[in-house]
């Protein structure tokens, strides 16, 4: 991914006078874009599934890439001018249309009440003061970044299992990846929809009312809808309840420090987020319905900005090739992308 940041920024560094004169990046000619397109296909398409190959082999795909390069350039110029805190880069979704791209999301937010449901079930809680910064990765409570796949909207399974993995590690001192595929396959009777999306709390409810979650190695992830298969006698991780967390982001910070990694919902369907590559995500246009589930693992402050910038550290499920090795930082203190609205955690 960083290769594409370099390639793309190299192109626009060759045009400083034009950019300054027009206050906007010029589009490089089609031959330059074609070269980027071929390099992108070499990295992301070669050896991949027919669906990915087909989506990248059309004039429409080329035009989508061309348009995206302009968006990336504008954002990265804003970042260089200190008008924004994050950068963008190409990734595997670069030639997708909007419908296909949304397969990366999978948290269902509908008119019948995700937020009302949270407010109804959330318990009033207060937590002790927390340090200025914290990162559960450094405490051994976070497993490696994984990949939900190209066509499976299973982010809810990854977000919910992340929080449960943290609780298992905290209580028993054993960090292991738990089965996301089991949630995809087996939680449909509890209101989830497999690769077509689901809910964090319904995933917890399934795990609570059934025989726990297998380890990832015992029920491996496939990224497709399968029949539920609970015939194995391997050991499982159990939970006894789950809770929602309400309150401002100061309370959320305290909860994260007191409890461990938390499952959260957010708005994750903006182009700037799909192609985020580094920095603190601060897109002020990120408003709307919650549609993506992620795992909150830490927080901190960037003292190199003026004034200093508070941020959350969040684990995504779009592979370690995305963002900051699979993670992203997002502005803390303004409920950016509704990141503090839908927060839950398991109790074991």
Q: Which residues form the catalytic set?
A: 155, 292, 316
Q: How far apart are CA 190 and CA 184, in angstroms?
A: 11
Return the closest-CA partner of residue 8 out of 89, 62, 81, 85. 89
User: Helix or strand or coil: residue 343?
Assistant: strand
Strand residues in 128-251 grouped as ranges (E): 134-135, 213-214, 236-237, 241-244
Q: How far apart are CA 345 and CA 210, in angstroms?
A: 17
Return the closest-CA partner of residue 124 out of 29, 245, 15. 245
Contacts 24+ apart (CB under 8 A), 10-15: 11/36, 12/73, 12/76, 12/77
Return the closest-CA partner of residue 190 out of 175, 177, 166, 208. 208
Q: Is the peptide bond before 307 cis (omega within 30 degrees of 0)?
A: yes
Token representation of residue 321: 């090739």
Neighbours of 24 (CB within 10 A): 12
Q: How far apart are CA 341 and CA 348, in angstroms?
A: 23
Contacts 24+ apart (CB under 8 A), 57-65: 60/97, 61/95, 62/33, 62/34, 62/37, 62/95, 64/94, 64/95, 64/96, 64/97, 65/33, 65/36, 65/37, 65/40, 65/90, 65/94, 65/95
Return the closest-CA partner of residue 115 out of 335, 347, 346. 335
Q: How far is CA 262 from CA 158, 162, 184, 220, 274, in A?
A: 11, 8, 19, 23, 22
């Amino acid at each position: 991914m960083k290769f594409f940041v370099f390639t793309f920024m190299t192109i626009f560094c060759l045009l400083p006078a034009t950019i300054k004169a027009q206050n906007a990046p010029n589009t490089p000619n089609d031959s330059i874009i074609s070269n980027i397109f071929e390099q992108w296909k070499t990295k992301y398409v070669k050896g991949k599934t027919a669906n990915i190959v087909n989506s990248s082999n059309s004039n429409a795909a080329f035009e989508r890439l061309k348009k995206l390069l302009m968006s990336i350039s504008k954002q990265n110029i804003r970042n260089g001018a200190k008008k924004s805190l994050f950068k963008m880069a190409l990734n595997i979704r670069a030639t997708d249309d909007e419908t296909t791209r949304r397969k990366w999301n999978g948290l269902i937010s509908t008119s019948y009440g995700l937020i009302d449901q949270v407010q109804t079930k959330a318990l009033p809680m207060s937590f002790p003061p927390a340090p200025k910064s914290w990162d559960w990765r450094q405490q051994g409570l976070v497993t490696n970044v994984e990949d939900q796949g190209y066509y499976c909207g299973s982010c809810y399974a990854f977000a919910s299992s992340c929080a449960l993995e943290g609780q298992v590690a905290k209580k028993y001192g054993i960090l292991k990846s738990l089965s996301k595929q089991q949630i995809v396959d087996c939680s449909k009777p509890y209101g989830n929809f497999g690769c077509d999306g689901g809910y964090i709390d319904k995933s917890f409810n399934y795990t609570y009312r059934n025989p726990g979650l297998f380890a990832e190695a015992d029920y491996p992830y496939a990224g497709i809808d399968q029949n539920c298969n609970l015939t194995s006698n391997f050991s499982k991780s159990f939970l006894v309840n789950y809770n929602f967390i309400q309150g401002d982001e100061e309370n959320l910070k305290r909860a994260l420090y007191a409890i461990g990694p938390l499952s959260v919902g957010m708005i994750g369907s903006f182009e700037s987020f799909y192609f985020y590559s580094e920095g603190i995500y601060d897109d002020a246009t990120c408003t709307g319905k919650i549609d993506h589930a992620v795992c909150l693992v830490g927080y901190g402050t960037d003292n190199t900005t003026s004034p200093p910038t508070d941020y959350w550290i969040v684990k995504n499920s779009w592979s370690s090739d995305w963002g900051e090795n699979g993670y992203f930082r997002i502005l803390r203190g303004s409920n950016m992308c509704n990141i503090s609205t839908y927060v839950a955690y398991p109790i074991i």
